[in-house]
Amino acid sequence: MPTVEAPPEKTMAETAAMEITVSRQALLRELTATQGVVERKTTIPILSNFLLEAADNRLTITATDLDQSIRTSCEAKVKKPGACTIPARKLYDYIKLLPDGELSIKLMENHWVQIRLGRSNTKMVGMARANFPAVASFPKAGALRLPTATLRTMINKTIFAVANEESRYTLNGALLVVKAGSLTMVATDGHRLAHIEKAGENLAVSGEKRLLIPRKTLSELQSLLSNTESEFLDFADDEQTLYFEIGNRVLTSRKLTGQFPNYEAVLPRENSRFVIVRTADLQASILRVAQFADERSGAVKLRLEQNEIKISSSSNEAGESEDTIETPYSMESLVIGFNSAYMLDFLKVVSDTPEVRLEFKDAQTAGQVRPEDPDGEFRYRYIIMPMRI
């Protein structure tokens, strides 16, 4: 097997451009923020690399998979401005293992990159800067400012309901509806729907703006929003691309095309039977009972009777199980089946809410579950289709 030999070190005058020193802590922080976008398995090798650009005492790091990209930066001492590409995973794993301190990065001949910190001296094989795809800059004109805390909560409460099936293209993202006085986010996979709304926002938008954000972009946003102290992010879009600027980081994403379903048509309006139950009790009961549900359907049965809910499941392979939760209920009895995993997805994201309200019409109509929190700043509801049992 042929080996790759490192080029001999030359004098400063003979080496290619770019030489910097940067704090290991600052570099690692920014490399961590970009990991989700880097292509792990790709037929285009350059997409497995970071682009590093040094100028004006800043180091800018860019990663892209062609569908989305992230650009971030940190302070650096730039001795020679320039640019290089470095294998992303290898660089990240190596920088994690270094001690804190000031490290130097220097571009050498044949796209090799030297990294030094203390007694550690490493040379990595890069690729030509010219091979790295162009990444669009954030368009300042027409940018919209959105509150980060609100958007973070909305993504957390809806991302689990986004479809995973490639064939259902328009369901592979969440719909964000922006109005002057409110923000709404909706996600559905055709079997359940998560809907969250925050009123009272003061947003500089006329009419209504509807944005379909891909699942992977939602996941990256979720990570970025969980690691920022910025109160707002700036959003912009053009015909093909969504742009999110959070502090010194810019996330771009290719738009999903197509029409999101008319979700308002499936929001229940006649679910007159309801029961309020402790969130922890319901979650624990479903977790226990679901161990004995059919492996393919995951179906559990809810039986609402006088002052109690009975939750049960059975399968020929595993056996059967039933839990009873005492709770006030005086309406007509009802038996309805649900996918246990779908119910648990919702209960997990509302685990900090003491009680949830279950609302039903009959055994054939979609049920609605929502936090029992009349004074909450968000209006959150989860629609789940029943199963035949």
DSSP string, 19-51: EEEEEHHHHHHHHHHHGGGS-SS-SSGGGGEEE
Residue 37 CA to residue 59 CA, distance in Å, equals 18
Give the tens place of pLDDT for each residue, 106-161.
999 999 999 999 999 999 999 999 999 999 999 988 889 999 999 999 999 999 99
Same fold yes or no, 19-131 and 268-384: yes
Contact assessment for residue 224 and residue 235, using Cβ atoms and an 8 Å cutoff: no
End-to-end CA separation in angstroms for the chain: 61
What is the CATH architecture of 19-131? Roll (3.10)
pLDDT at 6: 45
Residue 140 CA to residue 308 CA, distance in Å, equals 57
Residue 229 CA to residue 152 CA, distance in Å, equals 12
The verdict on domain 144-264 having CATH code 3.30.470.20 is no
Q: Which of 289, 282, 281 is nearest to 321 (CA)?
A: 289
Contact assessment for residue 23 and residue 62, using Cβ atoms and an 8 Å cutoff: no
pLDDT at 16: 52
Residue 44 CA to residue 166 CA, distance in Å, equals 22
pTM for the full model?
0.89
Give the tens place of pLDDT for each residue, 11-21.
333 345 899 99
CA 87 to chain CA centroid, Å, is 24
pLDDT at 358: 97
Alpha helices of 194-350 — where are they, by DSSP H?
A: 215-225, 279-290, 340-349
pLDDT at 7: 44
Please identify every stretch of the chain with a pLDDT value under 50, giving residue numbers as ranges.
1-15
Alpha helices of the chain — where are they, by DSSP H?
A: 24-34, 88-97, 148-158, 215-225, 279-290, 340-349
Contact assessment for residue 113 and residue 105, using Cβ atoms and an 8 Å cutoff: yes
Give the tens place of pLDDT for each residue, 88-112.
999 999 999 999 999 999 999 999 9
Domain ranges of the chain: 19-131, 144-264, 268-384
Provide the residue type at 42 as one letter: T
What is the CATH architecture of 268-384? Roll (3.10)
Residue 243 CA to residue 69 CA, distance in Å, equals 10
Q: Exposed e or buried b for every residue in 255-276, given b needs 16+ CB within 10 A?
A: bbeeebeebeeeeeeebebbbe
